[in-house]
Amino acid sequence: MHTKNEVFYNKTQYPKYELKVNNRDMSIAVLRTFISKHKEEHEALLSKRNKTALKVSEDNDSGLQAPTESTTPNGRSNGECKEMPQDESNGTCQEPEKGKGRWELKPPRVLEALSASGLRAIRYAREVEGIGQVVALDNDKASVEACKRNIKFNGSVASEKVESNLADARVYMLTHPKEFDVIDLDPYGSPSVFLDSAVQSIADGGMLMCSATDMQCYVEAVEKSAIPSRYGSYPLRGKYCHEMALRILLACIESHANRYKRYIVPVLSVQMDFYVRVFVRIYTSASAMKNTPLKLSYVYQCIGCDSFHLQPLVRTVSKDTDVKYLPGFGPAVPQECTDCGKKYNMGGPIWSAPIHDQDWVTSILADVKFMKERYPAFKRISAVLTTISEELPDVPLFLSLHNLCGTLKCTSPSAAIFRNAVINAGYRISGTHVNPLGLKSDAPMNVIWDIMRCWVKNHPVKAQPPTQAGSVILAKEPQLQVNFAESVASVSKAQAKKVARFLPNPERHWGPKLRAARTITSIAIRAVS
Ligand SMILES: C[S@@+](CC[C@H](N)C(=O)[O-])C[C@H]1O[C@@H](n2cnc3c(N)ncnc32)[C@H](O)[C@@H]1O
Ligand SMILES: [Zn+2]
């Protein structure tokens, strides 16, 4: 290997804007937050245990019967279950020997399952305080050799913490069940073949960080798309296809987790620079897993006007404290679109529950701002996180103002005017990090079209053939008295503070480069980026 091609850890070598730098910086930010939340959860667990122990001893003293206690250290908050069920175990918390000290929290162990030359693993070890061992795997001999050299180049911390192995990641993860607190999957293309073993190798409460770069597949026509076979869901073409990609990936990870009585809790899901990356925590609980179908939906998208509707896989019926899960009533839409009369395409199932945990997003963003100089991609990742922090958490997918106007062949209202109308009609609206022109809203489609009908009344359009979707929509009178007057709530917080939310592409022809060839030179070049 020519010395010029050696990959070593040197911050000044990062090209100013690079796909992988954004990806790694975001992962480091999430990892830092994971470590601090992990500690908080552990402290909460200890204090809960102490309180329980105190109560037991008081009850014993007073002759009352002691409550039965789970032998596993549980009680982690996962955003859904306040109390962890009894079948949950926790791989990261070491039970003290009888009669000895406190439950000890071990520094998190990280597996970078597809590490190439190890740059990411080395950054984790050197830059993330409180991290434990980092295991870097690759099934390519030359990459592992490069990784071992890079570990040496990077001083004592890297040498102590990072271990490089030549292994097939799938076999390694299968033979190390529930051993890692964090697993990072960053493949060329699709992660689908690694998911089944990855969800088994993560400790309870641990985190899976997973990228997918087979983005173009998501926007291809179904007959050409590899998505159904890789991920088990049907994508739909539409402006929201990248968010759909995130939600298809989440649904796929959940389905693998469910096979092992486990389930996911997403903390951050990002579409950036031609790839998607999700950060999800994994827990074990046969009872909580029953909620999975409530978090999955089919999507109906009109072929005429792009209106979309979601149908959850199941419905619940509650009687007293008993909740029953029954098959969903379907279809959620009539055969013909109620707005324009055309047919619907059906896609999914997608993950329709929240894709971020806003508490995590706030902590990650705060950390990024606090340690600004430690993030080479600070501008980019803080812009993305700011937009994510403003996204409506409970509204899957989004509208495109351009598409709405394209259907009606009208001039477009500004996003601010459209936001005013939605808010004045009593609904919520936000941007989305995946598309600067996308708008998330809980307003039903008939309200959205009424807003557009009223807009067109003041901004008339040329007559179109009567069968066109736009003509059918405009032929109906609006039911709503739309108010376009300015509403204070319509300006996003970031806009109000003049915080950048979308940065322009750094150069022309910006995009992913070709897949690296199997030579050490190209791997090295790619890894430096
Ligand atoms: C996109 S690169 C990883 C880049 C790296 N994560 C980074 O941030 O620089 C994907 C790597 O996965 C490795 N790989 C592919 N299949 C594998 C498998 N089954 N087991 C282990 N490594 C594998 C490839 O050799 C390649 O080096
Ligand atoms: Zn329609």
117-139 pLDDT, tens digit per residue, is 999 999 999 999 999 999 999 99
For the CA of 303, the nearest ligand: 2
Task: Flag whether pLDDT at 213 surpasses 80.
Answer: yes
- Which numbered atom of ligand 1 lies nearest the CA of 24? 8
What pLDDT, on a 0 to 100 scale, did the predictor assign at position 6? 45
| Confidence band, pLDDT 50/70/90 cuts, at residue 501 | low
Q: In 210-349, which residue ranges form alpha helices assigned H by DSSP?
A: 215-219, 227-231, 241-258
- Which numbered atom of ligand 1 lies nearest the CA of 116? 27
Ligand 1 site, residue 186, Cβ cutoff 6 A: yes
**97 CB contacts (<8 Å, ≥6 apart)?**
none
For the CA of 404, the nearest ligand: 2
Ligand 1 site, residue 309, Cβ cutoff 6 A: no
Nearest CA to 523 out of 187, 116, 152 is that of 116
CB atoms within 10 A of CB 232: 14
Range 258-280 burial, b when 16+ CB lie within 10 A, else e: beeebbbbbbbbbbbbebbbbbb
Query: Average pLDDT, stretch 177-181?
Result: 98
Structure tokens belonging to residue 193: 């073949």
- What's the one-letter identity of residue 328? G
| Confidence band, pLDDT 50/70/90 cuts, at residue 330 | confident
The ipTM is 0.99
Task: Flag whether pLDDT at 21 surpasses 80.
Answer: yes
Ligand 1 site, residue 28, Cβ cutoff 6 A: no
What pLDDT, on a 0 to 100 scale, did the predictor assign at position 489? 63
Higher pLDDT among residues 9 and 476, named by residue: 476
Please say whether the beta carbons of 174 and 199 come within 8 A.
no
For the CA of 25, the nearest ligand: 1
Look-up of token digits 């979309």 = 308
Ligand 1 site, residue 442, Cβ cutoff 6 A: no
Q: Is 437 exposed, middle or buried (0-12, 13-18, 19+ CB in 10 A)?
A: middle
Please say whether the beta carbons of 8 and 150 come within 8 A.
yes
What pLDDT, on a 0 to 100 scale, did the predictor assign at position 68? 37
Least confident span in 16-20, 84-88, 511-515: 84-88
Q: Which helix (H) or strand (E) holds 311?
A: strand 308-312
**329 CB contacts (<8 Å, ≥6 apart)?**
315
Q: How far is the CA of 25 from the centre of ligand 1 (A)?
A: 18
For the CA of 337, the nearest ligand: 2
CB half-sphere exposure, 182, CA atoms < 13 A: 30
Please say whether the beta carbons of 228 and 244 come within 8 A.
no
Ligand 1 site, residue 76, Cβ cutoff 6 A: no
395-421 pLDDT, tens digit per residue, is 999 999 999 999 999 999 999 999 999
Range 236-249 burial, b when 16+ CB lie within 10 A, else e: bbbbbbbbbbbbbb
Ligand 1 site, residue 123, Cβ cutoff 6 A: no
Q: How far is the CA of 466 from the centre of ligand 2 (A)?
A: 14
Q: How far is the CA of 467 from the centre of ligand 1 (A)?
A: 52
Q: How far is the CA of 367 from the centre of ligand 2 (A)?
A: 44
38-85 pLDDT, tens digit per residue, is 999 988 888 888 887 777 777 666 655 444 333 333 333 333 333 344
Task: Flag whether pLDDT at 221 surpasses 80.
Answer: no
Q: Average pLDDT of the chain? A: 84
- Which numbered atom of ligand 1 lies nearest the CA of 526? 9
193-206 pLDDT, tens digit per residue, is 999 999 999 999 99
DSSP state for residue 502 in the 8-state scheme:
S
- Which numbered atom of ligand 1 lies nearest the CA of 140? 25
Query: Average pLDDT, stretch 441-451?
Result: 97
Q: How far is the CA of 341 from the centre of ligand 2 (A)?
A: 6
- What's the one-letter identity of residue 408? L
Please say whether the beta carbons of 120 and 113 come within 8 A.
no
DSSP state for residue 189 in the 8-state scheme:
S
What pLDDT, on a 0 to 100 scale, did the predictor assign at position 497? 62
| Confidence band, pLDDT 50/70/90 cuts, at residue 528 | very low
Ligand 1 site, residue 20, Cβ cutoff 6 A: yes
Q: Distance of alpha carbon 237 from its chain centroid, rounded?
A: 20
Ligand 1 site, residue 145, Cβ cutoff 6 A: no
Please say whether the beta carbons of 369 and 361 come within 8 A.
no
Q: How far is the CA of 333 from the centre of ligand 2 (A)?
A: 11
Q: How far is the CA of 371 from the centre of ligand 1 (A)?
A: 29
For the CA of 124, the nearest ligand: 1
Ligand 1 site, residue 116, Cβ cutoff 6 A: yes
